Structures are given as C-alpha cells and as structure tokens.
Structure 1
C-alpha cells in the first residue's frame, strides 16, 4: 500500500506514514468493534457466564491489541530511515508483548471464575469448595507470576545489549547460581511453602483459625503471605512459612461443624435435671442448633461452687459463638427466676466458745484507769 499523491499533490514521507498508521489503527478499532458486537450477540443468544466474563476481562486488552497488531503490519508500507523504523518497530513489539501478557493473565482469571461457579463457599458444609478454591487461587497467582516473568524476559532479551549480558552471565553460571541461591533462599522457601499449603492444605480459604491468640478466617493466600480476617474486622498478615513451622488451631480442618461450650459456676444445691430440660427448650427454639449435641454435665466441684458445662453443636463457628451467647443469657435468666438459691454464695459458720454463748454479749469490763 503506497500513498504518494492525493488529488495530484505529492505527499511527503512523514505525512504518508501518518496516514498509513492512522488507517491501520482505524482498521484495528473497526475489527475490535465487530468482535465486541459478535460477543454481545452471542451473550444474548446464549446467556453464558463465560461469554460475559470474556467481554468483561478481555474487552480492554483487545481494544489496544488489535490496533497495535494492524499498526505493526503496516510498518512495511511506511517510508522512513532505518533508525526510526527500528525504533518504532521495537516500541510496537514491546507494547504487543505487554498487551499479550495482559490478555493471558485475564484468560487465567476467566478460567478461575468458571471453576468458582461450581464451588460455592456459601454452602453450609463447604469443605470441598474451600479445598478447591485454595488450590485454584494459588495456581492462578503462580501462573500470573510465570507469565509476568516470561514477558519481562522476552522484552529484555529483545535488546541486543541484554542478550550479550545474558551470554556473559552464562559463563559464570556456577558461581552466580550459588550466590543467587543464597540470596533467594527466603523467597524460594516461601514459594515451596506455598506449594505445600496449596496441595497438602493445612489451611484453606475461609478456614477458621486461632493464630497468635486471634480468632479469624483465612481471607487470602498468596505466594508469600496469608491474610487472616479477624472477628473485629482487623487483618492479621502472616508469612506463609508460619503455617509450616509453627503450631496453630484450625477449627474447620475436617468439617465446619463445631461444638460450643458454656460454663456456669453454681451452688451445690443446684438441681441439674431442670437445667437439662431448659437447655433442650432453648436449643429446640433456636435455628442455630444443628440437633447433634445437647448435653449438661457437672464437670468439676470446687470449694464454694460446682462447674456445670452446657455442650451444644452448630453448623459453623459463627453460629456456634452466637448459640453459646444465647444459651448463657437465657440460662442465667432462668436460674435467677426459678432457682435463685443456686447462684454462688459463700457459707460462713460461726460457733460459740465454751465461755461465750452465741447471741450473748461478753461481760463488761471497766477500762483501765490512767496512772497519774
């Protein structure tokens, strides 16, 4: 395609190149509009989540990738010095590499969302869903990291000077490998710990943990750290190696179902059977109880009171906590109303000695006279 003259007027090379570039970009935009219309038509005919995700995540990168691709193809028709040609060609090449890497990252995100549709975390028993989502999240972040590293490497190696540096580095790969190994030891340890957690799964997404004395849910697992959503909406950030090297509590490792306990310290005169009946009444009236466990036991006796344990079950940790609070409040109100004598009290025994009967005042004695 050559544009030397328009209406009989000879065009300078710079203007010719601008017109060719403009036409190439325009063709790319037209192709992008056509492609977008096709996907919107498909979305109307088949309202699939995959089509909507493709429009959502790939619309932006494709909008710049197609014009760049057409512009790259039009360079052969432009007339310019070799220095300018090489510079423009290199710039477009780098832009295409970066854009293509973004498209690959978005495709990985689309694939992750498609898997997420089949594994809903809102289910009551979501053990399988949490397991799969943890693996998917780690695999996505690992693939994104690989794509970014490869894209940066391709961009750098496209320069002749960088290729020469790379060739020179290969000659010292032995010593360099040892140095890099020591320098990257911590990062490699985190990466390996991430792989171990993703596939052995001591923790999963949405697991309930007790870490450093804090109760919270696993909100995010990255390649290097874990984000714990604390009950009061704080975030506890821990290195991923923490969960390989240190002990912690996982309340939902096998199942999200939990047992809740309430301890009350009552008097020795407390009748236990009425408390069992009251606990059954409280649990049966609460939607938080999953009908598995309902137990009242005297678990300890101390000098001034007995320890009564109320044991109940719930579908997950949040419901178990709320159910414990309900049982504690209603049981205390019941005891105050019907068994006030069962509340803890201190017994004091007063005995009279041989010379002083209980209830009698001791004999009056004159105070000593002061000596003058």
Structure 2
C-alpha cells in the first residue's frame, strides 16, 4: 500500500503545487493589470502561465522523484533524472523566451500608443522589436541546447578536447557560414540603421510591394497581387532599392496624356479640378496640368495629383486617367491622337509642261551635235 501511496502523494502534490502557483500568478497579474491598465506588461506576462507551470512541475519532480521509492525509479533512476533535467532546461528556456517577448512587446505597444502620430517611428520600433525577439530566442535556444548536451557524461568528457580545437573550428565555421553571418549582421544593420521597416512600401527588382516580415537572414515583400518575394537581407545593404515610406508616406501621382495639338488645355484643367475634388483618394494638397512636350503629331500633357500614400496615389492615378479619357472622348473627340493620311500632292501642269520641253530640247541638242560630228570630213 505504501508503494502505491508514495508515488501518488509525490506526483499529486507536485501537480497541486504547480496548479496553485499558476493560479496565484495569474490572479496577481490580473489584479495588477486592473490597477495599472496603462502598463501592458502585466497582461503580456499572463501568457507565461503555461511555461511557468511546466517549469515548476518539472523542478518539483526532479527534486522529489527519488522519494516515490517505486521499482521503476530504483531500476531506471539515472535515466529518469536525465529526462527530467532535459525537460527542465527546455521549459526554463521556453519561460525565458516568453518573458523576454512579453517585456519587449509591452514596450512596443506602450511606445506605439504614445507615438501614434508618427507611423514611421512606430514601424521602425516594430522592426527592431521583432529582430530583438528573434535574437533573444536564438541565444536562449543555443544556450539551452548546449546545457542539454552537457548533461550527458560523454559530452562532458570530450569537452576539453572540443575547447582545445575551438579556434580551428571557429575559423572553419566562419568560412563555411560566411553568407549566413553576413545576412545576420545585415539584419541587425537594417533593424538599427533604419534602412527599411516592416510595413514600408518598397520597389525591389522592379517589383512594388510592402515589407511583410524581417528575420535575421531573409526579408519578405508582399506584392500588390499578393505574391511573396523572399530575398536575403544582405540585398538591402549591397544594392540600391526604392523605399516609398522613408521620410513620409505622401506621394505625387503622375498621369500622362498623348493628345492632338488642338486639345483644349484650359477646359482639361477645369475638368481635372472637378475630378480630384470628388476623389476620396486626393489628399487636398495640390494638383496641376501642364503641357510638358510636343512632337510633330501629338503633345504630351501631364497631370499631377497628390495623395496620402502610395495606395491612394495608384487609385487617384487610375481614376483621373479613366475619367479624363472618357470626358475627352465624349466632348472633345478631336483632341484624341489620330493617324493623318492624305494622297500625295500633284505637281502643277505648267511645271510638267516646262519639264517636258526641257527634256525635248536637250534630246534635240544631243541629236544635232551627233549629226555634225558625222558630217565633218576626215583628213
């Protein structure tokens, strides 16, 4: 009977203490969050309840599993201790990642709520926060993996020889992972150099899109047709690219018209004014319409319309082009470019007759000259 009660008491007691600690921590965080709603840290820390419970339960079992005195513990005690140690290290790493993520995210949300008037700074902080979370998770993961390996006696035995050859291995690993390390440092440079941020509108390799994700090694751009372009972050440190969101999201849309020389420019300006005033995509800053070039057959008319961002610029550009062409087609069709064809002009009749007389006179002169040469006596 004692062999049955001891394991139940040890395991049941560990589970009860674990549930109580999880409930108490959640209750305490709820109370603090209710008293300080302006601090989002406590609400984010509540997501750490599960890794906290796993860590506490594993720690309690690691310290008390010998007290069960069960046969399986006596026969496989070292293996069980090894397994519990591995689980404890993994649970601790999980808890540390969750806590660091809660701290970083709460700082970001607090900054975003106080800096909502500056979207560029919010996107920059969001990019930095994302990369910080990934760096912390990578460091904690590497340390946890190393700690788990050191729990094996054979790994501790070969540790000295591994440290002795660490210099050579480091050089070899650095050469082999040159591209990966380059992308890693490029990602940190992008995050803290404010080159490109999550949510920025960029043009890379002729593709227009929005930066959707930035990791330590690659960057993902979502195009307007919902494709994803994935490229190494080192691309943005080695090659030029367009960032339409840097320095402000406002844009100027350009619409070009190739028209006939008889196009009514003044009436087109009035029509453009009516179109932009009715367009919700126009930000109300400025608009104009001018003739920028001319060719023997057409003129080039340029319309400029300001917009709040690149999306509104695209919308107002398409709207102005469509409505202006429709208005010209319905009210001034002569202004649209045409291909002019006409028969070749005929020469006047007097010029034709004079040319014919000159040709006849030249022919007669050549004939008379030849006849005189034939009639000349030979010596």
TM-score tier after normalising by the smaller chain length: 0.7 to 0.9
Give ranges in structure 1 of 5+ residues lacking alignment: 1-9, 357-372
1:95 corresponds to which residue?
87
Residue 341 of structure 1 deviates from its aligned partner by: 1.2
User: Which SS does the other structure have where 1:262 is aligned?
Assistant: strand
Answering whether residue 344 of structure 2 is matched by residue 354 of structure 1, we say no
Answering whether residue 10 of structure 2 is matched by residue 20 of structure 1, we say yes
User: Which SS does the other structure have where 1:119 is aligned?
Assistant: helix
Find the partner of 2:54 among 47, 64, 87: 64
1:220-243 Cα offsets, whole Å, 9 max, x none, are 000010000110111111111111
After superposition, residues 14-53 of structure 1 pair within 5 angstroms as 16-44=6-34, 47=37, 49-53=40-44
Q: Is the 8 A contact 2:287 2:305 kept in 1?
A: yes
1:82 and 1:245 mapped to 2: Cα distance?
Answer: 62
Q: Is the 8 A contact 1:267 1:345 kept in 2?
A: yes
Q: Is the 8 A contact 1:120 1:129 kept in 2?
A: no
Residue 301 of structure 1 deviates from its aligned partner by: 1.3
Residue 355 of structure 1 deviates from its aligned partner by: 4.8
After superposition, residues 319-358 of structure 1 pair within 5 angstroms as 319-350=312-343, 351-355=345-349
TM-score, length of structure 1 as denominator length? 0.85
Find the partner of 1:106 among 82, 98, 106: 98
2:120 and 2:26 mapped to 1: Cα distance?
Answer: 39
1:232-277 Cα offsets, whole Å, 9 max, x none, are 1111111111111222221122211111101111000112122122
1:4 corresponds to which residue?
none
Structure of greater Rg: 2
Question: Residue 334 and residue 237 in structure 1: after superposition, are their counterparts in 2 closer, same or farther (change >3 A)?
Answer: same
2:219 and 2:103 mapped to 1: Cα distance?
Answer: 23
After superposition, residues 1-372 of structure 1 pair within 5 angstroms as 11-12=2-3, 16-44=6-34, 47=37, 49-55=40-46, 57-75=47-65, 77-79=67-69, 84-117=76-109, 118-119=111-112, 126-350=119-343, 351-355=345-349
Residue 323 of structure 1 deviates from its aligned partner by: 0.7
Aligned length, in residue pairs: 345
1:117-161 Cα offsets, whole Å, 9 max, x none, are 232699685111111111111111111111111111111122221
2:241 and 2:37 mapped to 1: Cα distance?
Answer: 45
Across the aligned residues of Structure 1 and Structure 2, the Cα RMSD in angstroms comes to 2.5
2:101 and 2:165 mapped to 1: Cα distance?
Answer: 39
Question: 309-318 vs 105-114, which deviates more?
Answer: 105-114
Give ranges in structure 2 of 5+ residues lacking alignment: 351-379
1:140-198 Cα offsets, whole Å, 9 max, x none, are 11111111111111111222211222211122233222211211211111111111111
Question: Residue 42 and residue 319 in structure 1: after superposition, are their counterparts in 2 closer, same or farther (change >3 A)?
Answer: same
Residue 211 of structure 1 deviates from its aligned partner by: 1.3
1:51 and 1:172 mapped to 2: Cα distance?
Answer: 46
User: Which SS does the other structure have where 1:352 is aligned?
Assistant: coil
Question: 33-42 vs 167-176, which deviates more?
Answer: 33-42
2:313 and 2:174 mapped to 1: Cα distance?
Answer: 48
Q: Is the 8 A contact 1:32 1:66 kept in 2?
A: no
Question: Residue 39 and residue 120 in structure 1: after superposition, are their counterparts in 2 closer, same or farther (change >3 A)?
Answer: closer
1:123 and 1:234 mapped to 2: Cα distance?
Answer: 29
Residue 354 of structure 1 deviates from its aligned partner by: 2.9
1:368 corresponds to which residue?
none
